[in-house]
Amino acid sequence: MTEIWEGLVTAVKLIISLDPEVMQIAGRSLAISATSSAIAALICLPLGAVIHFNRFPGKRTLINIIQTLFSLPTVAVGLFVFVLFSSAGPLGGFGILFSPAVMVIGQVVLITPLMLGLIISALSATDKAITDTAVSLGASGFQMSVVTFREARFGVLAGLIMGFGRAISEVGLSLMVGGNIRGFTRTITTAISLETSKGDLELALALGMILIFIALVINIGLNRIQQR
Amino acid sequence: MKRKTIIAILAGLVLLSLLVSFAGCPAAEAGYPLHDPEVRFKIATTTSLYDTGLWYHLEPIFEELANVEMDIVYAGTGIALEYGRRGDVDAIIVHDRAREDVFLADGYGINRRNFAYNFFLIAGPASDPAGIAGSTAAEAFEKLYNAGLNNPNAVKFVSRGDDSGTHAKEKLIWSQAGFDYEEVRNSGAWYVEAGKGMGPTLLMANEMQSYVMADISTFLAYNLKSNLSIVSIVEEDPIFLNVYAAIAINPETHPKAKIDIANRFINWLISKDVQDIISTYGEAEYGRPLFFPIAGCDMPGCPPVEDYTLPVPEYTSS
């Protein structure tokens, strides 16, 4: 018990004193995951609308596939991205393996199905009468989707947040394609995994607390938006 | 449209964070100065040199000297060689002579220089249930095998199991003891494959109160840090000699490999400055240095002198 307690005390000290290494790792984690979430959102918002508002054969199957990919294993995506971007791989010419850029790409691949699926379900959950009314009042296709998105905003926002949550909490992918390089690709999760294996529990605990704190802040923010 | 604005602001913030993080903003990198972030020199290193903190010590010195940003990827010898074959790094630090020779012969690497050495040991519970104290490495393995098969609850052996240099040495000792490695690894619950780096494997063996083969440096470093309850039981067998080597990736196989920096790095590792650092690294904390500079290596199995005294020549493409 004393080990855990001492670890927690040191962890709190590290956070309160704004320890440069802890802050740097947390900042990098946030930046990488926020970037990948933003890119995934830019893909998923329009794509979700296109899938939701159009009827086409195989739509049900497509949605099923997207939902299956919710549970895409991070290490499988890691392996796939590694092989793709490794110097000997088809995209090796970019030379970005073991860099934050390739971590962002991997995270986008990882969270796009989740965001897309949740956005589609949020759109599907809106009252059909609203789109019907909008159309009957002469709304264009774009106006109609704006109305629907507004109606589905909480669900859509929750989908974006879920995507971000998956990105910032995954470790397998970041470790494999980022290489856990100190000062460059070390994120909260890869640092926790390394520090725990090194037996330096204080830093690992501090970073774990920060990760939970980030989740808390985001949830409070989401709640406030929903209550307005 | 208010919600859309919120989303737009969110996206804007995110893009800002992207700019901050990728422009190498000094504020974001506080406490860890960037040198020339444009020139990233990547090496893959065997885990023991990382777990003992040696790279943390050496990295800033070389970055300052060569004005590059050094990226160190933690990988056992097997994975490090694979990164090298794929051209994902510019140099590798490994310790498995047999596979190094194949790597060089296949044209993936050039300019190998040995720069440090230490020894392996077999550690285990202080009560030594398999009774290996006083044995040679091969005898100890044979005793472990028999005791492990008879009583897998009391006698366990944790292997790296990751194709690292340490794992390769372990296999070599098994064959010296007259065993077929595949047979050993499938012989029962007493033989545990960790699939982890040296430090994590030691911690695992410590938790399980099992036997483990480790290099002395990592063992000492973790013993001080985590207060291991397993103790060193078998040492001082000539087969335990463990020599570390640096190899540059051959630019003829991988034209993007940064050969000039790699050469400079290797020459720096065998320079008197770094050899002096190695000869004292860890002395203050552990009461003895963790690694030995290669020049002091004078026992059977040590590399020939030119493997560490001859500076690597400047690269000229043919």
- Residue A29, domain extent: 2-227
- Per-residue confidence (pLDDT) for residue B20, from 0 to 100: 46
Tokens of A202: 């204080």
Task: Tell me the C-alpha to C-alpha distance, in Å, between residue B17 and each of A30, A178, B57, B131, B141.
Answer: 8, 18, 30, 59, 54
Instruction: Please give the average per-residue pLDDT across B270-290, as a whole number.
Output: 92
| Residue B75 resides in a domain | yes
Q: Who among B21, B51, B200 is closest to A100 (CB)? A: B21
Q: Is B23 a residue whose pLDDT tops 50?
A: no
| Residue B250 resides in a domain | yes
Q: Is B14 a residue whose pLDDT tops 80?
A: no
**Degrees (nearest 5) of the Cα angle A75, A176, B190?**
75
Q: Where are the beta strands (DSSP E) in A35-147?
A: none
- Per-residue confidence (pLDDT) for residue B27, from 0 to 100: 36
Here the CATH number for the domain that contains residue B53 is: 3.40.190.10
- Per-residue confidence (pLDDT) for residue A165, from 0 to 100: 92
Here the CATH number for the domain that contains residue A113 is: 1.10.3720.10
Instruction: Please give the average per-residue pLDDT across B285-295, as a whole number.
Output: 90
Name residue B244's beta-bridge partners: B116
Residues B57 and B78 in one domain: yes
Q: Is A224 a residue whose pLDDT tops 80?
A: yes
Percent of chain B with pLDDT over 90: 71
Write down the mean pLDDT value for chain B. 88
- Per-residue confidence (pLDDT) for residue B30, from 0 to 100: 38
Q: Is B154 a residue whose pLDDT tops 80?
A: yes
Instruction: Please give the average per-residue pLDDT across B141-150, as a whole number.
Output: 95
Residues B156 and B224 in one domain: yes
Could you report the per-residue pLDDT of A26-36, keeping only the tens digit for each? Answer: 999 999 999 99
Task: Tell me the C-alpha to C-alpha distance, in Å, between residue A215 and each of A28, A100, B15, B22, B212.
Answer: 16, 21, 20, 24, 40
DSSP 8-state class, residue B238: G
| Residue B11 resides in a domain | no
Domain count, chain B: 2
Q: How far apart are CA B269 and CA B90, in angstroms?
A: 15
Q: Is A201 a residue whose pLDDT tops 90?
A: no
Residues B246 and B213 in one domain: no
- Per-residue confidence (pLDDT) for residue B31, from 0 to 100: 43
Say which range, A58-62, A143-147, B24-28, B29-33, has the weakest mean pLDDT.
B24-28
- Per-residue confidence (pLDDT) for residue B7, from 0 to 100: 56
The amino acid sitting at A146 is V
Query: Mutate which of A98, A119, A176, A224 to disrupt the B interface (most B C-beta within 10 Å)?
Result: A98
Top-confidence residue, B113 or B3: B113
Confidence band, pLDDT 50/70/90 cuts, at residue A93: confident
CB contact under 8 A, B74 and A225: no
Confidence band, pLDDT 50/70/90 cuts, at residue B85: very high
ipTM: 0.80
Instruction: Please give the average per-residue pLDDT across B222-249, as a whole number.
Output: 93
Chain A: closest CA distance from residue B26 (Å)? 11
Residues B289 and B177 in one domain: no
- Per-residue confidence (pLDDT) for residue A21, from 0 to 100: 86
Q: How far apart are CA B163 and CA B161, in angstroms?
A: 6
- Per-residue confidence (pLDDT) for residue A219, from 0 to 100: 81
- Per-residue confidence (pLDDT) for residue B24, from 0 to 100: 40
Q: Is B21 a residue whose pLDDT tops 80?
A: no
Query: Mutate which of A6, A25, A108, A184 to disrupt the B interface (most B C-beta within 10 Å)?
Result: A184
- Nearest Cα to Cα of residue A163 among A98, A208, A112: A112
Q: Is B142 a residue whose pLDDT tops 90?
A: yes
- Residue B143, domain extent: 119-240
| Domain end marker among B200, B215, B240 | B240
Q: How far apart are CA A179 and CA B80, in angstroms?
A: 12
Tokens of A112: 């796009």
| Residue B268 resides in a domain | yes
| Residue B271 resides in a domain | yes
Contacts of B208 (CB under 8 A, 6+ apart): B156, B158, B192
- Per-residue confidence (pLDDT) for residue B239, from 0 to 100: 94
Residues B150 and B231 in one domain: yes
| Residue B155 resides in a domain | yes
Residues B125 and B236 in one domain: yes
Q: Where are the beta strands (DSSP E) in chain A?
A: none
Domain count, chain A: 1
B14 contacts in chain A (CB < 8 Å) = 34-35, 37-38
Residues B89 and B124 in one domain: no
Q: Who among A88, A97, A225 is closest to B6 (CB)? A: A225
B91 contacts in chain A (CB < 8 Å) = none
Residues B64 and B101 in one domain: yes
Q: Determine contact, residues B15/B8, Cβ cutoff 8 Å.
A: no
Top-confidence residue, A123 or B225: A123
The amino acid sitting at A101 is A
Tokens 């003895």 map to which residue? B288
Q: Is B32 a residue whose pLDDT tops 50?
A: no
Q: Is A66 a residue whose pLDDT tops 70?
A: yes
